Structure 1
């Protein structure tokens, strides 16, 4: 059974005027089938475009899965820290790694704040809890995300000024899931010029090589679109490569195929051009990730880094980073000289 997102992506391919001729597509598809030893359905997500001439430089589905799931690259003990947002927040605090302030949290209907447990079943009780949290912590808003957040799904914002409305909208979700409640970051003013609707993050991927050296493999940046409160590509956001030597954005941002697969030279809401925009605190962001990897030495991690007025803050670490985004943002990840070593190590 072909997943829904792949079916939607194939519909985009059929309508896309950027595609190569059908004889060329058939030839390249068969070439990849032989060389990669798998049915290359991933070809129809991006590689069919007429401007993509280096199809062999892109990761196959099997190669990406090999990196993501290799027991030689990942240890269960480290992955357990990354996969649970509460554990990861406490881990960062313990090691003085800057991360959003953890204000409160909940396990289903049990809510926790300042060493107290509040058992909640009614709307008014939940309103009272968050009113107390917001007043006592002197916050106007809280960003709530599930312990096992993926793709931005389930995240929400609770506002003191719209407390009744926000609780009504999110109560059922909160009472049936486990959430951490964090301070809402103040994003750097330069990034707000591009998109102020959410925190837009750098994705920085690290690899610890066979000589125990930490390498930054790739960097790209993600931007939310519309009124979305998250920047994730799986939630309709867009992403763009970053030049690792100077922190400048590349020229074109991309969109996941099942959302339309469009290219953007400017942000669709602000019309701010991407090309040559210099990410604030880029060097410091890379240094922060290298430091964090020393404390969490899983061999391949995708770090999400937000940029505030005061510098970078790590939002989360991803044990299964989306290598398709990294691959396309890089322009063919297999051009990276370390990728062959990674694939060999992952085998």
Structure 2
């Protein structure tokens, strides 16, 4: 049972009224053991539910590990470029990748603004620096992200209106850490109708196939809940699959198991119905990640894309595209022919 991440997750499975019958679960688990050659602990995170009939189409934990650990999918020279948000943002400014504007950044107590390095060590010093940023650039907000952070952890927003109060909570975090400071993305008005407190991003996963074509193999959208400024499912939000052909949302939103594993059809705050929502600039979002993949030709990348009233922006790239969420959002990644071919390619590498 150690493969379950906590007793609470086991309890969610036991109490779930939507699980298949005991005998069906036993039968499917036995089939998966034979077919996948591993015990399917991953089955008990989602696939045990009644609506999942194509259980063999879901990537197993072993198959996801094989993809994640494959040396043919990731070039070492791209690791720091993709994995470090500061490097990625600086690179994007010099290339054709459209990202939120880099305003400033700090590496510990060394702050950089417009190619000027300023040493800051006190609350007053941080206040003066950020006030200068607001005044020089005539902006009202600034978004902070740690360069090596993930899943929205460590992100926060500072505002001109409440700067001193906000910095009382964050200034030591800033001085003792490293942060990328970017413009605050103004989300598309149609998406704001669903949830406006966070920028709700698309996760588009690109794969460069063995024949060198670039394909989008999975897409889903993350939504924040409550007053959270991040949308990540790993931070308490939920995700919804996207129909690849037309850019509409599927009918069901999913919380990760550690947040209850609940399935929803409406946003819990706005009660906005998810099914069929047409994502603005979806075609353009697909085009910019394909173009970005040509600039950074790593074979498997998860791109986070925000949609503004003017079009899509790439927020960041991810070496780990979160295959478990993709598996659920797509309805079994092995239904995708490109993923099937990838697994055959990896198997042949033995």
- TM-score when normalising by structure 1: 0.97
Q: Is the 8 A contact 1:144 1:182 kept in 2?
A: yes
What CA deviation, in whole Å up to 9, does each residue of 1:243-273 have, x standing for no partner? 1111111111111011011111110100010
Query: SS of the counterpart of 2:337?
Result: coil
Equivalent position of 2:249 in the other structure? 249
What runs of 5+ residues in structure 2 fail to find an aligned partner?
A: none
Bigger shift: residues 22-31 or 157-166: 22-31
Answering whether residue 318 of structure 2 is matched by residue 318 of structure 1, we say yes
Shift of 1:4: 7.6
Query: Which residue number corresponds to residue 128 of structure 2?
Result: 128
The equivalent residue for 2:109 is: 109
CA distance in structure 2 between the partners assigned to 1:248 and 1:100 by the alignment: 24
Cα distance in 1, alignment partners of residues 34 and 329 from structure 2: 25
Q: Distance in 2 between matches of 1:302 and 1:227?
A: 25
**Residue 332 (structure 1) aligned with residue 332 (structure 2):** yes
Q: Secondary structure at the match of 2:161?
A: helix
Matches within 5 A, 1:242-281: 242-281=242-281
CA distance in 2, matches of 1:346, 1:148: 29
- Which residue in 2 is equivalent to 1:10? 10
User: Post-superposition shift, 1:218?
Assistant: 1.3
Structure 1 gaps of 5+ residues are none
CA distance in 1, matches of 2:325, 2:9: 14
Number of equivalences: 347
Could you give the per-residue CA deviations for residues 172-196 of structure 1, whole angstroms, max 9, x where no partner exists?
2212221100000111000000010
Does residue 228 of structure 1 match 2:238?
no
Distance 1:54 1:8 in 2: 26
Residue 70 of structure 2 corresponds to 70
Query: Following TM superposition, by how much is the alpha carbon of 1:215 offset from its aligned partner in structure 2, in angstroms?
Result: 0.8
Counterpart Cα distance in 2 of 1:53 and 1:174: 48
Please state how far the C-alpha of 1:197 moved relative to its aligned partner.
Answer: 0.6
Q: Could you say what secondary structure the match of 1:92 adopts?
A: helix
Q: In the superposition, relative to structure 1, how do residues 96 and 338 fare at CA in structure 2: closer, same or farther (>3 Å)?
A: closer
Q: Which runs of 4+ in 1 moved over 3 A?
A: 1-8
Report what 2:56 is aligned to.
Answer: 56
TM-score (norm 2): 0.96
Partner of 1:83: 83
The farther-off stretch of 314-323 and 31-40 is 31-40
Shift of 1:2: 3.5
Query: Aligned partners of 2:8, 2:310: CA distance in 1, in Å?
Result: 41
Aligned counterparts of 2:11 and 2:171: Cα–Cα separation in 1: 36
Residues 68 and 321 of structure 1 are in contact (CA less than 8 Å); yes or no, is this contact kept in structure 2? no
Partner of residue 219, structure 1:
219
